[in-house]
Amino acid sequence: MNCGTDPARLKIAGMSSDRIIQIERDILGRNNTMAADNRARFLADDLLVFNLVSSPGAGKTSLLVRAISELKKSRPVGVIEGDQQTSNDAERVRATGVPAVQINTGKGCHLDAAMVGEAYRRLPPLKDGILFIENVGNLVCPAAFDLGEACKIVVLSTTEGEDKPLKYPDMFAASALMLINKIDLAPVLDFDPAQTIEYARRVNPKIEVLTVSARNGEGFAAFYAWIRKQAAHQKRRA
Amino acid sequence: MHEMALCQGIIEIVEEEARRRSFSKVRTVCLEIGALSHAAPEAMKFCFEAAAAQTIADGAVLEIEKLPGLAWCMACSRSVEIGQRAEPCPCCGSYQLHVTAGEEMRVKQLEVD
Ligand SMILES: Nc1nc2c(ncn2[C@@H]2O[C@H](COP(=O)(O)OP(=O)(O)OP(=O)(O)O)[C@@H](O)[C@H]2O)c(=O)[nH]1
Ligand SMILES: [Mg+2]
Ligand SMILES: [Zn+2]
Ligand SMILES: [Zn+2]
């Protein structure tokens, strides 16, 4: 203890401990770390993972139910369902014989990587298979949260109008594939797919596009071909 | 509203730093938010106050430094600034843009005591 210290100076020294700390940390850092863990686990299990996003009611579950009924014939398939409430969607999936885990986010408007990591542990082994994650119906928040997927698939239905990619650009920027669903309704609605595609490519010049109908199966052969291409791509990188 | 989730993320970061560097009061939290990021600065300010209540950052001021959106225009081969997504190249009008910066959402620095 230095007895010569001026108490007044000590006080000032104390005050100058108001300090500026540089930290430079990503706000989503924790989610991104967990997403990286999920991604490593999925790769180790040779699992191809898609994160389906759309506004409420665009037809994610209908698309899934049709697609998994076909895909399960050739490989293991699993589904993680995200909704604020109810397990309706998981039940629709289970009715096809495919295992599904329901996540209820309550007030939360998106899935995060921790929820998906936990849900994945509750699924049976899906080695060499495909996992679909159906995100909460919301064209905004899920764009920000990496879940560890190979890529995001954005579903846009013809009833929503052509300009959704301009109104909610982040989601279209974050997605590798846009599925234009309910194409069976396009004639009644005067929906112009070419216009939507042009808007989506303003936001994301590289986005791939397929038009489908979960109702009558139109376009699904091309969707399966796209999935096979992604599977081959992942194998090459592994 | 995901800004609430983002603000909770900020508080977690601040609390972690407080444990690591032992400070007990945060006066200012300074963010860097890119023009093309997922965070709307006004919504962040609104949510931050609620997220910070009864934490070490209770009452702290949130400062937001905006970073520009930059893209490489594949049509005219140059780097250009864009204000938001779905905007064309200001030089040639093309939408063939590859975003190179502006997606940042970072806690840059803290003023603490
Ligand atoms: N005509 C037509 N209707 C469809 C098609 N796909 C889905 N629907 C209908 O659209 C409604 C919503 O479909 P869902 O599959 O529940 O949509 P979702 O995106 O999973 O909805 P949330 O999970 O609530 O966001 C249902 O009434 C479906 O029958 C389609 O291709 N054509
Ligand atoms: Mg659904
Ligand atoms: Zn939200
Ligand atoms: Zn240009």
pLDDT at position A10 is 40
* Residue-wise pLDDT tens digits, A192-235: 999 999 999 999 999 999 999 999 999 999 999 999 999 999 98
With contact defined as beta carbons under 8 Å apart, do A211 and A219 qualify?
yes
Q: Tell which one of A62, A158, A182 to mutate to probe ligand 1, the residue whose CB is within 8 A of the most ligand atoms.
A: A62
Nearest chain B residue to A201, by CA: B95
Query: b vs e for A163-202, b when ≥16 Cβ sit within 10 Å of the residue's Cβ?
Result: ebbeebbbbbbbbbbbbbbbbeebeeeebeeeebbebbbb
Q: What is the pLDDT of residues A30-75, one digit of tens each?
A: 999 999 999 999 999 999 999 999 999 999 999 999 999 999 999 9
Distance A56 CA to ligand 2 centre (A): 7
Instruction: Please state at what angle helix A60-71 crosses helix A220-237, rounded to 10 degrees.
Output: 70
Q: What is the pLDDT of residue A79?
A: 98
Query: How many domains, in total, are found in chain B?
Result: 1
CATH number at residue B19: 3.30.2320.80
Condensed to tens digits (0 to 9), the pLDDT of residues A227-236 reads 999 999 998 8
Confidence band, pLDDT 50/70/90 cuts, at residue A237: confident
**Cβ-Cβ contacts under 8 Å for A14 (sequence gap 6 or more):** none
Q: Does B52 touch chain A (CB under 8 A)?
A: no
Q: Supply B78's token pair.
A: 């140059």
The ipTM (two decimal places) reads 0.94
Confidence of residue A17 (pLDDT cuts 50, 70, 90): low
* Structural domain for B80, as ranges: 2-112
Tell me which residues of chain B have a pLDDT lower than 50. Answer: none
Residue A188 above 70 pLDDT?
yes
Domains of chain A: 17-237 (3.40.50.300)
Its sign, for the CA torsion A81, A87, A93, A97, is positive
A225's CB contacts (< 8 A; 6+ apart) are: none
Looking at the DSSP bridge assignments, the partners of residue A19 are: B112
Chain B residues within 8 A of A173 when measuring between CB atoms = 85, 99
Q: Rounded to two decimals, what is the model's pTM?
A: 0.93
Are residues A202 and B1, on separate chains, in Cβ contact within 8 Å?
no
Tens of pLDDT, residue by residue over B89-108, are 999 999 999 999 999 999 99
Asked if residue A175 has its Cβ within 6 Å of ligand 1, the reply is no
Minimum mean pLDDT range among A7-11, A93-97, A145-149, A152-156 = A7-11
At position A86, the amino acid (one-letter code) is: T
Residues of chain B found within 8 Å of residue A109, distances taken between Cβ atoms = 1-2
Instruction: Check CB contact of B113 with chain A, cutoff 8 Å.
Output: yes
Is the shortest distance between the CB of A214 and ligand 1 below 6 Å?
Answer: yes
pLDDT digits (tens, 9 = 90+) for A158-175: 999 999 999 999 999 999
Q: Report chain A residues whose CB lies below 8 A from the CB of B5.
A: 108, 110, 112, 141
Give A132-142 pLDDT, tens digit per residue: 999 999 999 99
pLDDT at A6 over 80: no
CB-nearest to B106 from A19, A27, A112 is A27
